[in-house]
């Protein structure tokens, strides 16, 4: 398949490389002018999409996605599929899908889970929104770039699934870090805490797979000085998207609001920028009850 790929950053570059390794003809564009092994470098976004059967974007936010869509959609082949793998607001995802469909294209919003490691290994999970026909055309590419793709519903459903999932993740990570900090102050050994909680009703991905306490549970960023596997500022971005969606849908999300405020404080007023989102644990360790 001839594929155009726009946005060759930390996530996009390995995704494009995996498509090229699988034998697809991939032409890529990034404003930073980066080169990716096996991917033909285009001078403009329009050059990247000419004649492509599929166009994939991996971009920082909804405003940039809308701007890129305005630029490339008029130059895409009728019947091609536009797959946006960015994590953006639901309204932008739906607007771009509508714009693409009006131009005779298929459209899928397909944000990912799995981080940079998953992008490199081809083990991402895709949460996809769009028509059955659009998903069917994109599915073989998801199989190359990831290990699982879930068709969540119509346009915007992929973004909705991503931000709801990550709102849960942000809230549970804060609760996990609070609990470890409390356990410390109560004199409870961290390993004993893990042994109990990881097999009891406190079980969650945040403690069982990504424990924020160094030396406890499986290897995680906590064991590497909290260098980011998933950066705190990216968690803040996703939590803000969840609250933007909640505002638009008139949904009551008090825990999501509190998590957003705490990560905002951590990233913007404390030392959280450039740290993993699980570095909330040393933050709580240093604090007393206010």
Residues that are catalytic? 162
Are the C-beta atoms of 220 and 268 separated by less than 8 Å? no
DSSP code of residue 76: S
CA dihedral for 114, 118, 119, 122, sign (positive or negative): negative
Regarding beta strands 40-41 and 54-57, do their DSSP bridges make them parallel or antiparallel, or are they unpaired?
A: unpaired
Backbone φ, ψ for residue 81 (5° rounding) = -110, 130
DSSP code of residue 200: S
Are the C-beta atoms of 276 and 232 separated by less than 8 Å? yes
Q: Is 219 exposed, middle or buried (0-12, 13-18, 19+ CB in 10 A)?
A: exposed
Residue 235, SS3 per DSSP:
helix
């Amino acid at each position: 398949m001839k594929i155009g790929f726009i946005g060759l950053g930390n996530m996009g570059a390995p995704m494009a490389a995996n498509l090229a390794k699988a034998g697809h003809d991939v032409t890529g564009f990034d404003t930073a002018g980066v080169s990716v092994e096996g991917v033909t470098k285009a001078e403009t976004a329009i050059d990247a999409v000419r004649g492509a059967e599929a166009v994939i974007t991996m971009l920082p936010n909804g405003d940039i996605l809308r701007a890129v869509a305005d630029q490339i959609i008029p130059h895409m082949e009728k019947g091609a599929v536009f797959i946006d793998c960015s994590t953006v607001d639901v309204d932008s995802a739906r607007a771009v899908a509508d714009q693409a469909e009006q131009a005779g294209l298929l459209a899928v919003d397909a944000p990912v889970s799995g981080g940079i490691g998953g992008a490199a290994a081809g083990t991402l999970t895709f949460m996809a929104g769009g028509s059955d026909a659009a998903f069917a055309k994109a599915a073989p590419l998801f199989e190359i770039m990831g290990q699982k793709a879930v068709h969540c519903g119509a346009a915007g459903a992929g973004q909705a699934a991503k931000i709801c999932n990550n709102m849960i993740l942000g809230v549970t990570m804060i609760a996990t870090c609070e609990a470890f900090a409390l356990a410390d102050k109560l004199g409870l050994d961290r390993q004993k805490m893990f042994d109990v909680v990881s097999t009891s009703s406190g079980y969650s991905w945040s403690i069982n797979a990504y424990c924020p306490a160094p030396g406890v549970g499986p290897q995680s960023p906590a064991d590497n000085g909290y260098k980011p596997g998933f950066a705190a500022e990216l968690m803040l971005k996703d939590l803000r998207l969840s609250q933007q969606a909640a505002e638009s849908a008139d949904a009551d999300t008090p825990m999501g609001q509190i998590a957003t405020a705490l990560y905002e404080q951590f990233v913007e007023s404390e030392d959280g920028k450039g740290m993993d989102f699980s570095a909330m644990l040393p933050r709580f360790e240093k604090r007393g009850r206010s």
